Amino acid sequence: MKNEYAASRRDGGFVFLYLALQFAVAGGTLNARADEILPETGRTAPGQLRPLRGIGAGASMAAKEARASLENLPFDPKDIAISEHLGGQVATHEIRLRDESGKEVQLSQYFGSRKPVLLALVYFECPSLCNLVLNGILKGVKALDWVPGQEFEIVTASIKPQETPELAAKKKANYVQNLGPGKLGAADGWHFLTGSEEQTRKLADQVGFGYRWDPRTQEYAHSAAIFILTPEGKISRYLYGVDYSLKDLKLSLLEASGGKIGTVIDRILLFCYRYDPITRKYSVYLTRLLQGTSLGLTILLGGYLLLFWSRQRREKGRAQSLKEA
């Protein structure tokens, strides 16, 4: 019952976030283009997200209008909610999309190795929420000491069938460039795909991503989440919102890989943390922490006793030799 209540509040929250963003964009509070991404400096430049204007009063007004409009949606709010299918298998061999060069690809080609996959369903001409999701991924990946294409893959698929590989290539170039020089080779691991309505809908349905066309705004309505999949294509974790902490991103990828990526220290951290379905975050698992601490102390004590007994035996043998001499 507690989980159902939390899920209901979460889904309602994302619907409200979607509406607030639509009103903010319409009112000029947000100003973003399809190819704009998060800037590293305060200046505005091509391919970057311009600063929020009038965020205080504008956002407050947008929130009020979103509340008033919540009952007048042209679709059921549940249609744009996230339906979790944890453990579900994505039929990667049955989904065909196009990569940035226009080549038709099977989704399965991004799976099958030891690397987990971060999946994001967005559309590149989205003026609001999709940019925030992609910027959240950018921020999280920059903080990781892993590189896309080496320890994990990122697949960003457009839900808008009219979008082209050319637009996907432009979007990819902007984001890969903004990852910085510390992520060399990331272009080989961050994929921006487009496809038909049938294929993208099939993928969205399998991961539980709801979206609908909103004729009032002439945009797609959807929630904010990314999906972490195992190398075999099974859904391992859902990360909600538009801000993905280093801890949650790293632990979810490590968990999806089955401990096949990362260092020994990373695996120890994963052992001590557990995903909380209520808070939607990874938190310290006290029982495992105590077990780990107990095991560590036992090993230390055992090592000390072994060393002590070995020393005692050596001293006893030396005393015996002196006595016989």
Q: What confidence tens digit (pLDDT) does each residue in 57-95 have?
A: 444 554 455 554 556 777 788 889 999 999 999 999 999
Are 14 and 81 within 8 A, CB to CB?
yes
User: Over 70: is that where the pLDDT of 36 sits?
Assistant: no
Contact (Cβ atoms closer than 8 angstroms) between residue 44 and residue 50: yes
Query: How many other CB atoms sit within 10 Å of the CB of residue 218?
Result: 7
Residue 63 CA to residue 157 CA, distance in Å, equals: 29
For residue 183, what is the enclosing H or E element?
Answer: none
Q: How far is CA 114 from CA 35, 151, 191, 288, in A?
A: 32, 8, 17, 26
Distance in angstroms (rounded) separating the CA atoms of residues 126 and 221: 10
The confidence band for 140, taking pLDDT boundaries of 50, 70 and 90, is very high
The pLDDT-based confidence of 280 (bands split at 50, 70, 90) is confident
Distance CA 74, CA 161 (A): 21
pLDDT per residue as tens digits for the range 164-207: 999 999 999 999 999 998 898 999 999 999 999 999 999 999 99
